[in-house]
Amino acid sequence: MHSHVLVYGLDDVSELKGNSRLGERNMSLIRGFRDFYSPISSDLRLENFPIYGARIQHIQQKMEEWRPRSIRELYIRPYKDPLAYYAFWFAAFIGVVGVLSLGATIAQTVASFK
């Protein structure tokens, strides 16, 4: 039930999706569980997921340790620290503009001597 609350019970958009997929009766059960029995409002721990807890922890660890391994993967924004992702692309843009301007300056200098 905790996983249903996480997926369908945290905001209005997810509740609308839950309504269309699960029906109003099931959504009212999820809302009641969330409001009266679920620790989501205070603190949610892996112990609340006895079946999937180890798998959730493994997935979370893989998401935090993910690093791009190829050039194609550089375009994928990481799950953790998106600031480093945007800083990398900003620096890459400035570097490309700098190299292009250096090339243009060299071309103008060569053209002025001829």
- Tens-digit pLDDT string for the chain (114 aa): 556 665 556 566 666 766 667 777 777 777 777 666 665 555 666 677 777 778 888 888 888 788 888 888 888 888 777 888 899 999 999 999 999 999 999 999 999 998
Burial of 19 (0-12, 13-18, 19+ CB in 10 A): middle
pLDDT of residue 60: 81
Q: Which two tokens stand for residue 73?
A: 């993967």
User: Model pTM greater than 0.85?
Assistant: no
Q: Judge whether 30 and 4 are in contact, CB under 8 Å.
A: yes
Using left for φ > 0, alpha for ψ between -120 and 50, and beta otherwise, residue 60 falls in alpha
Coil, strand or helix: which one is 39? helix
pLDDT of residue 1: 54
